[in-house]
Amino acid sequence: MAVAAAAVLVLVLLSFSGPLCPRLLSASPSPSPPEPVALTLLACATEKGAVCLDGTPPGYHLQRGSGSGSRSWLIHLEGGAWCSTVERCSDRRMTVLGSSDFMKPIQFDGSGILDSDQNLNPDFYNWNKVYVRYCDGASFSGDAEGRAQDGSILHFRGLRIYEAVIDELMEKGLASATQAFLVGCSAGGLATLLHCDDFSARFPQEASVKCLADAGFFLDARDISGERSFRSAFDGVVQLQNVRKVLPKNCLANKDPTECFFPAELTKSIHTPVFILNSAYDSSQIRYILAPNSSDPNKLWLSCKDNIKNCNSIQTQVLHGFRNAMVNDMKVAQVKEDWGMFIDSCFTHCQAHYGISWNSPISPRLGNKTIAEAVGDWYTGRRQIVKYNDCEYPCNPTCSSLLPTPP
């Protein structure tokens, strides 16, 4: 998509999830195409300083629920990497990931967990569904200002955007929800972990409130050259955009703020039930954490990063080590009884909001369950324990080469 292509130009050697999800990835076409959902801008949010990088108002797409889902809400936080320097954030202002001016021509038409087709999304199809656009560059968590080289102000107001959107949605019916589900992909998945407990605290105890982090479990790992290049990039985000307000206080008391920004630490402090959906061979993490271009000057990993099937035996062993590190970091989630997990071994990134991954004839399966079935079992309580952890690549025959691997 043109929007996704523009966004790629400003990624900071980090993961990417396209801002919109094409419905052509659904398992089968809907009986009739659903009506696209227009963008809603929070014009009043500018008074609170809740603005995109360029100062334009943030936005979201709201599709109203019906019937049994009229008091159930699913809030999806969009992903799209981060910007860790003034220069990169300044460039990002000229894209859909930094300005709502570039969002205005776009209408939203959800798929996967956002689909309105009961056959494709049986547990959430008729819920109120909200797709929150991402335009701050720090996982909806920053609260600061900067100045671009041209003298203009850069607004690092992700936290205010999150709060303003949720506040407005509460007025539109979210406050009376009997079920509420905070979901996010990639940088939005990290945002889900950062805000999960705050989101839950807004509802009465009798409401069922849970969170799902899709492809948001980023590792604080060394790359193939032995450097922690991804930590350096995250440190830039943390310092530049001032994300301390959303970090766990008990973590900050003992660790560096950047370390507290990583999911391995965040999950230790979250009390709300969370479902962790991730590939242990996440295509974006392999490209930008394990083998970034800076660590591979001779481009020996170029073909492997493009397609895991091209990896040689030595590279495959390195990938297995990365997978083992991820599984080890997820032990906290593994022991929490009310948490769920679906950790497959497919070479992909973000799976819940793509129909082909979520629930289709070629969806990844663990325990003979699609992702949609596993998440639905967990959220509704149809199964008491929903924790699936795949074996090493290439053991899973349901991992299709057609699964999305965003750039």
* Alpha-carbon span 367 to 355, nearest angstrom: 19
186 is catalytic: yes
Residue in 72, 84, 100, 186 annotated catalytic: 186
Contacts of residue 216, defined as CB under 8 A and 6 or more positions apart, other chains included, come to 79, 184, 185, 186, 187, 188, 189, 190, 191, 192, 193, 263, 278
- Return left, alpha or beta for 140; rule: phi > 0 is left, psi -120 to 50 is alpha, else beta: left
Q: CA 329, 330, 331: angle at the middle one, nearest 5?
A: 95
269 is catalytic: no
Residue in 54, 143, 282, 344 annotated catalytic: 282
**8 Å CB contact between 180 and 129:** no
Residue in 61, 195, 349, 353 annotated catalytic: 349
Which of 193, 13, 191, 1 has its CA nearest to residue 108?
1
**8 Å CB contact between 231 and 208:** no
Beta-bridge partners for 184: 77, 213
**8 Å CB contact between 119 and 390:** no
Active site residues: 186, 282, 349
